Structure 1
Amino acid sequence: MDFKSINGGQETLCIKVNKVYDWVTRQVDVPLLAFNASDLAAGTIVFDCDGVTPGDDPCAVLGGNYTVECFATDETGTPVDPLAPGSILCQEIPQPEGRASGQFQLPDGSTVTLQKVKVLKKGFVVVRITNPNGLSCTTGPIPWAVSEKFFLCAPPGTFLQCEITDFECDANLICRAAATPGEFEFQQLDVSINLCQNVQMEALVKLEITADFCQPRPDMPFVCPPLAFPPQCPTVFPGPGPSPA
């Protein structure tokens, strides 16, 4: 929207905004989530197959030909947009003694004091396996979590602002031949999660700035269209009228 300043309207203003003290981006790889046959037997990983009692072996149900997909969900297994705020928990881990400070050398040889900030990220994913006949087996919500350590400009009074900018989940199901020829049984399910993040340290501050007032752009004119009448058939209606006497 094209806003224009009001001539002569400049003055000194006091505004309240979040100031960014530090900002880094980082890719994080969640430790591999691996489930074996013992986990399936113990109920650590559970599959719900279409028309089959939950807890059955997906390899026995689907056979050896299948595709695997993995997607982000909430704790109930409902799919979510992993980039939407709040879909993935990202928060600072409090430290008993507060954020420890340390001296770090910059490329130009100077030193800077930074604080150690610990960040926790956690969420849920679901794995769905489908065979060519359209039969599918779906896991329950699988929790994942990862903690990281950052060295940031984070003096007392600043808070963490975290944004997930990219999310990728891949799963690999391994089936092995069962004792009965032509049948398969579960051997292992591996789930890998990678994400990218913006991590910022912010604080609410009051700033004095000199700025111009602005006014809205001119509204687009609305012109009523001309009235249009459908074509008539004068030879039929109302007709030529009575013939002269």
Structure 2
Amino acid sequence: MVPNPIGPECIRVTKVYDWVVLTNRDRNKVQIPEECFAAIEDARHDGNTITATCSEVVGTRSCDFIGAIPANIPTVPGAQIVSLAFHVHIRVQFFCNGEPIPGCNFVVPVSFMDEVILCFPEGTEINCNIFDVQCTVVLNQMLGDMVVLDVTMCKDVQVEAEVKLEVEAKFCGPRPVIPIEEDGFICPTPRFPQQCPTFFPTLNCDCQGSADFTGEATISVREGGIGGLTTGQLDLTALVCDQCTLSGSRIQVTFLDTLGPTPIGTPDDDIDQSFTFTASDFNQPVCDLARGTLTVTGTGTITPAGGLPENAGFTLTLTDLDPGGDTATLTINGSSTMVMISLTEGANPGLEVEVGDCERFPV
């Protein structure tokens, strides 16, 4: 038997640079043919019941690429605003007391125009298609010899390019040409379009973590330089790289200050230091799994009691040391509000912290 071990192999594939699904729903006014409209009016005049159906004509779906312009959005560099046109033909059938009306079976075109932000680097192509069409005739909105169609269209849009990838697999070809020692032109190495790394595909993580706490806690809150340690009801939920995906991260904090002296007293006991915080952007976390720690930074929005929302940066450090050694530390720095939350399993019963590894390509 010829050996065929698994090893690095080269394959030619269609790489997906971006992928979105779009849905359109609209009401289109459609002209009823003259012969059909006369038959409908005669049937109604005689007191008959008129109904109608509409359905997609099989084989009429199409999509056209119109053009693209730079999106000029700082948070998604390299993005393009892509214009697309989607077309389908719809068959309309009218009935009188459940029986088809002669001359009232006709086909009309329906089109939708879409603009969508995509990672669309030079050298890639748009591959779009319609994968579902639903239609209803709105009989209570007949406008003279016009009938209204309620059409829903579901579309799939991908940005693609043919590339060569190195993978763990078997078989490949062709092999590199063995060079012949002679002067002449040497073909350059093929260059493929660069990926848009900021928003597609979703970044994987090397590690993941979570923290959850609800209960009384003493934290530090300073607003405009005023404040300090205060005690209140804290609700903290943190998920970092949930399912090993950076986009699956979230941090939500709600703190309700208990007015009056704290256990150790502060000079600002009569100040309401309540706030809420929601993280919106996350950087890749850094983990030391031997010590059970995860640290992640990013930005979000903090809203102090009676104040306006303000942008803020955050740093979250989680330590998973069982039994009894879990800790969670969160610092939030806004333009006028600064928060320090330091929780330990001993001082804050109910604190749950988990830190673990991520396998990018599970076996």
Do they fold alike, i.e. is TM over 0.5? yes
Length, aligned pairs only = 167
Q: Are 2:121 and 1:125 equivalent residues in the alignment?
A: no
With over 3 angstroms needed to count, the CA separation of the structure-2 counterparts of 1:139 and 1:133, relative to structure 1, is: closer
Pick the aligned partner of 1:147 from 103, 113, 120: 113
Cα 1:135–1:147 shift into 2, 3 Å: closer
Residue 33 (structure 1) aligns with:
28
2:58 counterpart of 1:92: no
Deviations 1:81-102 (A, max 9, x none): xxxxx63111211x3xxx3223
Report the Cα distance in structure 2 between the residues aligned to 1:101 and 1:133, rounded to whole angstroms. 53
Given that 1:173 and 1:189 are in contact with CA atoms closer than 8 Å, whether structure 2 keeps it comes out as yes
Match of 1:9 among 5, 9, 13: 5
Matched residue type, 1:100: I
Identity rate, percent? 26
The 2-side partners of 1:71 and 1:105 are apart by 43
* 1:174–1:188 Cα contact (<8 Å) kept: no
Aligned to 1:67: 51
Report the AA paired with residue 51 of structure 2. T
Seen in structure 2, the aligned counterparts of structure 1 residues 57 and 131 have a Cα distance that, compared at 3 Å, is closer
The separation in 2 between residues aligned to 1:175 and 1:200, in whole angstroms, is 37
C-alpha deviations, 1:25-46, integer Å up to 9, x for none?
121124x3224xxxxxxxx531
1:112 Cα deviation after fit: 2.9
- Tell whether 2:38 aligns with 1:56: yes
Q: 1:135 to 1:209 in 2, by over 3 A?
A: closer
Are 1:166 and 2:132 an aligned pair? yes
CA pair 140-212 structure 1, distance change in 2 beyond 3 A: same
Evaluate the alpha carbon distance shift between residue 202 and residue 193 of structure 1 in structure 2; reply closer, same or farther with a 3 A threshold. Answer: same
- Please report how far the alpha carbon of residue 126 of structure 1 lies from its aligned counterpart in structure 2 after TM superposition: 1.4
Q: Which has the higher strand share?
A: 2
Segments of structure 1 that go 5 or more residues without pairing to the other structure are: 1-5, 36-43, 50-54, 74-79, 81-85, 177-184, 214-245
| Corresponding letter in the other structure for 2:90 | V
Q: Which amino acid aligns with 1:207?
A: L
Please point out which of 93, 114, 117 is paired with 2:79: 114
Question: What is the distance in 2 between the residues matched to 1:112 and 1:8?
Answer: 43
What does residue 236 of structure 1 align with?
none
Q: 1:170 to 1:7 in 2, by over 3 A?
A: farther
Pairing partner for 1:46 from 24, 33, 39: 33
The one-letter code matched in structure 2 to 1:165 is: F
Change (3 A) 1:114 1:161: same
Query: How far, CA to CA, are the matches of 1:9 and 1:22 in structure 2?
Result: 33
Q: 1:207 to 1:64 in 2, by over 3 A?
A: same
How big is each residue's C-alpha offset from its partner over 1:55-74, in whole Å with a ceiling of 9 and x where there is no partner?
Answer: 6332324654132110112x
Q: What is the one-letter code of the residue matched to 2:32?
A: I
Matches of 1:59 and 1:11 in 2, distance apart? 74
Q: Supply the AA of the counterpart residue of 1:158.
A: T
CA distance in 2, matches of 1:120, 1:188: 24
Which residue identity is paired with 1:146? Answer: F
Residues 155-180 of structure 1, C-alpha deviations (whole Å, 9 max, x = no match): 1111111132321111123599xxxx
Bigger relative contact order, structure 1 or 2 (CA pairs below 8 A, ≥6 apart): 1
**Matched-pair contact (CA < 8 Å) for 1:114–1:154:** yes
**Equivalent AA in structure 2 for residue 33 of structure 1:** N
One-letter identity of the residue aligned with 1:66: I
Q: Say yes or no: does 1:207 pair with 2:173.
A: no
Q: TM-score, normalised by structure 2?
A: 0.41
Give the whole-Å Cα distance in 1 for the aligned partners of 2:154 and 2:141.
Answer: 31
Paired residues of 1:175 and 1:186 also in contact (CA < 8 A): no
